[in-house]
A and B are shown apart, each in its own frame.
Chain A
């Protein structure tokens, strides 16, 4: 019972027993007193100390002389020191008891006996005659719920104002704050996406209940966001747009993988699927392309740790240009590391769209940043279990196969191979904490079966997030996640053994119409993925916030492809394997000093530095010529080959930023970052990226009408970079094998000591607004970003030896557009709530300057996808039929601009209808247009007289010129198959029902959800799906090329989620 003891005797304070803390949490005596009193009675002083510090006090009445008056300017001292000061001269021993209680007793008294009495509720001293006075701390408990739906609101921050006490609500909305001082207290609740709420409460001993009902809002200027500095910034302070996907949005989003969570939720974010086989990935682009030679995918951070999300080698194996090309391509998809994470672990996502906002992230951040935050437990939170069970079925429908294949009776031969694929998921999580440690533990298992034979994917994920508070001003968060993903694929895409390629060609294929033999090929990949880090957040003084994150992202992937012995197309058999390891180390330190200048001006000065190291190590092997049937390894082949590659890059930088505030409504931010990178040329020094932004909360002005609640204007300009590859600056030779396998070299990269990063500068202006009690809100942004020093591959004359075009900072690209997101709540009644959000974004790009580079094609030349001055990034050029509608043979004009490859506009909406606070219907839809696509698969099928659009138009002599061009002759005109690629897709339809409380014993919340993914689509493009593009190591980025990839299938799932 006794925790610590100190004695106050004869006006002298002495410690009779060393204070020994039983836990890392602050002891009662070490807590801040937060007290400033002058000349008050000792009784009042003790009461004030209790109220301000939250520490319970028990003392004999006889110890408090009625006439003793004390002064204690104790704002920056501990409770123990404050008591020492107040009790000076009295023969009192001070003893800390468990339960945050401090006992003041005469020095002669048996403290242990008194404490036992107190524990048993006997408020007496040893003699049983003198009454004890107890100023006990209470516990505030309650539940946070959604005003519209009545559903629980998790992760709401509930704090006791004027104290350090607080808690986060659990997923069932409940919270508990222990040790709250008695008396009148003010509780404040804050939650992203909801109005903040404050409430006064009379706190007495024992449990006091305080429930909060929060109204959801679209524009919350006091919500905090992550900006790269040490502290979190309030949205009102930020001069650029930040897309946020809240827990509520995530609740009804498809959750087969993390990429799904981003779909259609943030204006300006596009995703391109590579392949509809389960286990495949997507490519993410924000505000169009910012580079044509480097990745245009955003940086990904998981709880502050940078995660590699570049396509990794999975089932593309050795069949790449870089590593040799011993055979045709494999699965040609691009599984993404991001999708190894368990989507149920994600708490919220922030999308920082462009350089105007990503300056502090420096080199590599030109394409945007996505911050993913995972769930956490809460200190002093009871254990809360969440369990989810999902079952479903995946089908390939006529609609999903596009308007031509899908209308053919047997899907041009594919139908007999299609099947219904099962979908099963189970996840279990527990979160909570005691006074010193919080925890969130989760496990997840997913099994997904594709609609084609031999395609399935299994994912097992484990997460452990822990929080500690080793010191009163220091918090430590440890986040770890491990996953294993194992997938099997059919051969796909532009590939001799590609399944769809052969099936759609009928008997005019590589198998002679014996398509089943392709099922003999095994194509499998297994990936272990770990993301972990530790973040120290310290505030040694209230004005200083410091954050240090150290973490690693580690992926190890093993892939194998086996063409068995006696395989019909390669009887001697072949096996290809690859082992790929990637590791990113992150060290990120930032400090922010906040201060107030006068009554209206504020300042937040931030400094920091980051270090990142990326290591890739790849080993690939291939073997041929197996002696007989059975399981094989590389050693089973009569011949075998191997390759190995390793690459390390380091990026490090420092930043400084100053945020000025005026009257909490006008903010100006200026900052800069300086970066070094191992990939820069030897003659290039540090690269400096500046930024400036401003925001003005106009609605805080007195003249602003009350019905128009929020209006924030903002403008930002900033720069960020994109580094070249590790070897691009150096003149290198590639090792090759020569006669009798002797080592030789061949010219590789001509090198460029001046090589630096692409610098993308961006200006954006916009506003966030909300009116009519948040029934109508909007977020509007206009931006223009210019990539200077764009890295283009500039060829040197082949007669000078080096064939690989070397990177030079010669180009200039521009893209501009608007992003509009409007949310309306047409109906908001107790039992009916209907909300609609519409999103629109445009992106118009242009190549401003090619520098020394000649116009060049991307992907491969025959795609006709070009980078040319004055045209969009990327544009299709080719032959064009000049008399398309004439009933005659076609005439052509060559080298014509046919259109952009990427959509010029995207739009979408999501809507939610809630009935009786329990039943919710929601829908998410997206569309895009303005771009063109080469329909290579339809052309290949047409030239074999199998394409329904052509078969239906025979004889061609009765057709228009365009259709004669597309269909007639042994070799129809391929470029006439470049057609508009506009589409509109209903992404998800969701119905969820929250069971009444108590419907299931011991379960505090239960939800049933029926969801249909990809229920319907419309497309102008005759192929399988206009979003598909060849991926993996066979990606033709930034070109796009649909070629025999399976489209995404329809998935119907029923899920149950329980909280207890």
Chain B
């Protein structure tokens, strides 16, 4: 009888061979791209576009969540974490939307740089590598603006300033490479200068900040592109405020100016409450469409950096000139200030109007609330968290954080 079992096994093996012959045992899964495929030099553009896309997504999250956590918006959310952000409670277990995307984007850019350096034929003049440095700089600047501590690649917690220092290094590398490539990279070079000004300002290097800002024309804009093409490309602020009604302009400085108070902070009273039914719903209209871009750097901000540099030197007049230049460009009436305190308040409010819903004001609120600076920022920050802690995922999986 043993013969029959051998026959059965033979039949089974034959069946398997037949199935193999028909290709039925082959598995070819299209869709996700395997890591090794990206080492192909032809995939360089894909790597570059991908890393930029990640930073653009992170920009959207920072704009929305930091907007709710700062003076930009007030929460009226059914989403508990948004409600907490609005109340100034920025908790580890609720920070993943902000921390994780920004960290992944930073890693994606810096990993992308290294991959491109290995795979591209002429790395020194490769525009994707130059561009990657610029975007890596902005990725670090975004993290600096929202995160409490700096963490790199699973390493230990370091001071927040490390993000800006890393950003400066990337901006410098981008500038060097853009210069080497030539005039086609002028915009990138100016964007690097703008980023450099932003980073120096936070680090307290006011002179360097002013010098870098001066290189940027008032009309200049460098943006994170958003699009209605896919959900991932949508403007996150639009999702939270127009697609749904989780955050309202009601109760903010802009609301006090009225619906037509300042063209830079447009909003509309929908005559209903937000999702949670707590506040009247004033819908922001800066991003009326899901595909509206989010600025990362603007010339107007550079003028305000110059204003701050002047103010820190005690030059109220000069500071107000820079501020009113920005207002003039925005077609709004000038403001006046005769004291340093009034000037700081004016600067704070002007930064609010200029950088509204761009993910910048959480950092501004924190730093301008320091004694002797903006009284508005100081009042607002009372009892509120000023930055997002590492996310639960980072704390749980990064042994170097020691369960902080």
Q: B-contacting residues of A (Cβ < 8 Å)?
A: 324-327, 496, 508, 512, 541, 543-544, 546, 548, 585, 587, 589, 591, 593, 595, 605, 607-609, 611, 613, 624, 639, 641, 645-650, 652, 654, 678, 726-727, 730-749, 751, 794-803, 805, 854, 861-862, 940, 943-944, 970-971, 974
**What is the CA–CA distance of A862 and B99 in the complex, to the nearest angstrom?**
18
Whether B53 sits at the interface, judged by CB under 8 Å, is yes
Q: Please tell me if the beta carbons of A737 and B229 are within 8 angstroms of each other in the complex.
A: yes
The 8 Å CB contact of A591, one of B4, B47, B83, is B4
Query: Which residue, of B27, B94, B151, B394, has the highest number of chain A Cβ atoms within 10 A?
Result: B27
* B101 / chain A contacts, CB cutoff of 8 Å: 803
* B50 / chain A contacts, CB cutoff of 8 Å: 733, 736, 738, 744-746
**What is the CA–CA distance of A727 and B29 in the complex, to the nearest angstrom?**
8
The 9 closest A-B pairs by CB, nearest first: A744-B50, A744-B49, A854-B396, A801-B107, A732-B32, A738-B49, A324-B231, A738-B53, A591-B8
Q: Please tell me if the beta carbons of B53 and A798 are within 8 angstroms of each other in the complex.
A: no
**Contacts A591-B8, A742-B45, A746-B108 given: A736-B397 contact, CB under 8 Å?**
no
A880 to nearest B CB, angstroms?
A: 17
Query: Which residue, of A543, A624, A731, has the highest number of chain B Cβ atoms within 10 A?
Result: A731
Task: Show 9 A/B contacts (Cβ-Cβ < 8 Å), sorted by A.
Answer: A324-B231, A325-B231, A512-B272, A544-B4, A611-B25, A645-B31, A739-B53, A744-B47, A747-B107
Query: Which residue, of B4, B19, B52, B230, has the highest number of chain A Cβ atoms within 10 A?
Result: B230
* B260 / chain A contacts, CB cutoff of 8 Å: none
**What is the CA–CA distance of A429 and B394 in the complex, to the nearest angstrom?**
62
Q: Please tell me if the beta carbons of B33 and A646 are within 8 angstroms of each other in the complex.
A: no
B139 to nearest A CB, angstroms?
A: 12
> Which residues 1-58 of B sit at the A interface, judged by CB distance below 8 A?
1, 4-5, 8-9, 11-12, 15-16, 19, 24-35, 38, 45-54, 56
Q: Mark B309-352, 1 if CB is under 8 A from A, else 0.
A: 00000000000000000000000000000000000000000000
**Contacts A746-B53, A799-B155 given: A654-B12 contact, CB under 8 Å?**
yes
B275 to nearest A CB, angstroms?
A: 9
**Contacts A648-B27, A734-B33, A801-B108 given: A944-B277 contact, CB under 8 Å?**
yes
* B54 / chain A contacts, CB cutoff of 8 Å: 746-747
Q: Please tell me if the beta carbons of B34 and A652 are within 8 angstroms of each other in the complex.
A: no
B124 to nearest A CB, angstroms?
A: 23
**What is the CA–CA distance of A738 and B112 in the complex, to the nearest angstrom?**
15
Q: Please tell me if the beta carbons of A736 and B34 are within 8 angstroms of each other in the complex.
A: no
Q: Please tell me if the beta carbons of A646 and B31 are within 8 angstroms of each other in the complex.
A: yes
Q: A-contacting residues of B (Cβ < 8 Å)?
A: 1, 4-5, 8-9, 11-12, 15-16, 19, 24-35, 38, 45-54, 56, 78-81, 83, 93-94, 96, 99-101, 103-104, 106-108, 111, 151-155, 225, 227-233, 243-244, 272-273, 276-278, 391, 393-394, 396-398
Q: Please tell me if the beta carbons of B32 and A727 are within 8 angstroms of each other in the complex.
A: yes
Please, which residue of chain B has its CB at the minimum distance from the CB of A796?
B397
**What is the CA–CA distance of A648 and B27 in the complex, to the nearest angstrom?**
6
B152 to nearest A CB, angstroms?
A: 6
* B45 / chain A contacts, CB cutoff of 8 Å: 742-743
Please, which residue of chain A has its CB at the minimum distance from the CB of B396?
A854
**Contacts A648-B29, A652-B16, A798-B99 given: A745-B398 contact, CB under 8 Å?**
no
Please, which residue of chain A has its CB at the minimum distance from the CB of B78?
A940
Q: Please tell me if the beta carbons of B229 and A593 are within 8 angstroms of each other in the complex.
A: no
Q: Please tell me if the beta carbons of A613 and B29 are within 8 angstroms of each other in the complex.
A: no
**Contacts A650-B25, A744-B46, A801-B108 given: A970-B278 contact, CB under 8 Å?**
yes
B15 to nearest A CB, angstroms?
A: 6
B362 to nearest A CB, angstroms?
A: 19
* A798 / chain B contacts, CB cutoff of 8 Å: 96, 99-100, 103-104, 391, 393-394
B199 to nearest A CB, angstroms?
A: 19
Please, which residue of chain A has its CB at the minimum distance from the CB of B81?
A862
The 8 Å CB contact of A641, one of B1, B16, B106, B230, is B230
**Contacts A737-B229, A746-B108, A794-B397 given: A799-B52 contact, CB under 8 Å?**
no
**What is the CA–CA distance of A645 and B32 in the complex, to the nearest angstrom?**
9
A155 to nearest B CB, angstroms?
A: 30
Please, which residue of chain B has its CB at the minimum distance from the CB of A855?
B396
Query: Which residue, of A591, A801, A944, has the highest number of chain B Cβ atoms within 10 A?
Result: A801
B105 to nearest A CB, angstroms?
A: 9
The 8 Å CB contact of B5, one of A605, A652, A741, A751, is A605
* B35 / chain A contacts, CB cutoff of 8 Å: 731-733, 751
* A546 / chain B contacts, CB cutoff of 8 Å: 8
The 8 Å CB contact of A743, one of B28, B49, B51, B277, is B49
* A605 / chain B contacts, CB cutoff of 8 Å: 5
The 8 Å CB contact of A799, one of B19, B93, B230, B398, is B398
**Contacts A737-B227, A738-B52 given: A650-B24 contact, CB under 8 Å?**
yes
Q: Please tell me if the beta carbons of A733 and B33 are within 8 angstroms of each other in the complex.
A: yes
**What is the CA–CA distance of A854 and B398 in the complex, to the nearest angstrom?**
11
Please, which residue of chain A has its CB at the minimum distance from the CB of B101?
A803
Q: Please tell me if the beta carbons of A726 and B29 are within 8 angstroms of each other in the complex.
A: yes
Please, which residue of chain B has its CB at the minimum distance from the CB of A622?
B231
The 8 Å CB contact of B53, one of A639, A648, A737, is A737
A199 to nearest B CB, angstroms?
A: 35
**What is the CA–CA distance of A641 and B35 in the complex, to the nearest angstrom?**
26
Please, which residue of chain B has its CB at the minimum distance from the CB of A505?
B277
* B277 / chain A contacts, CB cutoff of 8 Å: 508, 943-944, 970
Please, which residue of chain A has its CB at the minimum distance from the CB of B8?
A591
* B104 / chain A contacts, CB cutoff of 8 Å: 746-747, 798, 801-803
Q: Please tell me if the beta carbons of B152 and A799 are within 8 angstroms of each other in the complex.
A: yes
A305 to nearest B CB, angstroms?
A: 15
The 8 Å CB contact of A595, one of B1, B29, B79, B229, is B1
A474 to nearest B CB, angstroms?
A: 14
**What is the CA–CA distance of A654 and B13 in the complex, to the nearest angstrom?**
10
**What is the CA–CA distance of A982 and B230 in the complex, to the nearest angstrom?**
44
**What is the CA–CA distance of A737 and B9 in the complex, to the nearest angstrom?**
50
Please, which residue of chain A has its CB at the minimum distance from the CB of B11?
A589
Q: Please tell me if the beta carbons of A641 and B34 are within 8 angstroms of each other in the complex.
A: no
* A595 / chain B contacts, CB cutoff of 8 Å: 1
Please, which residue of chain B has its CB at the minimum distance from the CB of A731?
B35
B237 to nearest A CB, angstroms?
A: 16
B60 to nearest A CB, angstroms?
A: 13
Q: Please tell me if the beta carbons of B229 and A647 are within 8 angstroms of each other in the complex.
A: no
14 additional A-B residue pairs with CB within 8 Å, beyond A325-B231, A797-B394? A326-B231, A585-B24, A593-B5, A609-B16, A611-B19, A611-B25, A648-B29, A727-B31, A734-B32, A734-B33, A736-B53, A739-B52, A741-B229, A796-B154
B302 to nearest A CB, angstroms?
A: 23
The 8 Å CB contact of A647, one of B31, B46, B106, B154, is B31
**What is the CA–CA distance of A508 and B273 in the complex, to the nearest angstrom?**
8
The 8 Å CB contact of A324, one of B28, B31, B155, B230, is B230
Q: Please tell me if the beta carbons of B393 and A795 are within 8 angstroms of each other in the complex.
A: yes
**Contacts A611-B16, A746-B54 given: A730-B49 contact, CB under 8 Å?**
no
* A746 / chain B contacts, CB cutoff of 8 Å: 50, 53-54, 104, 108
**What is the CA–CA distance of A746 and B8 in the complex, to the nearest angstrom?**
49
A507 to nearest B CB, angstroms?
A: 10
* B107 / chain A contacts, CB cutoff of 8 Å: 747, 799-801
Q: Please tell me if the beta carbons of B56 and A799 are within 8 angstroms of each other in the complex.
A: no
Please, which residue of chain B has its CB at the minimum distance from the CB of A801?
B107
Please, which residue of chain A has its CB at the minimum distance from the CB of B400?
A797
**What is the CA–CA distance of A751 and B34 in the complex, to the nearest angstrom?**
10
Please, which residue of chain A has its CB at the minimum distance from the CB of B393?
A795
**What is the CA–CA distance of A796 and B34 in the complex, to the nearest angstrom?**
18
Please, which residue of chain B has its CB at the minimum distance from the CB of A861?
B93
A762 to nearest B CB, angstroms?
A: 27
* A737 / chain B contacts, CB cutoff of 8 Å: 53, 227, 229-230, 232-233
* B31 / chain A contacts, CB cutoff of 8 Å: 645-647, 727, 735
* A799 / chain B contacts, CB cutoff of 8 Å: 103, 106-107, 151-155, 394, 398
**What is the CA–CA distance of A543 and B93 in the complex, to the nearest angstrom?**
65
Please, which residue of chain B has its CB at the minimum distance from the CB of A624?
B228
* A512 / chain B contacts, CB cutoff of 8 Å: 272
**What is the CA–CA distance of A609 and B10 in the complex, to the nearest angstrom?**
11
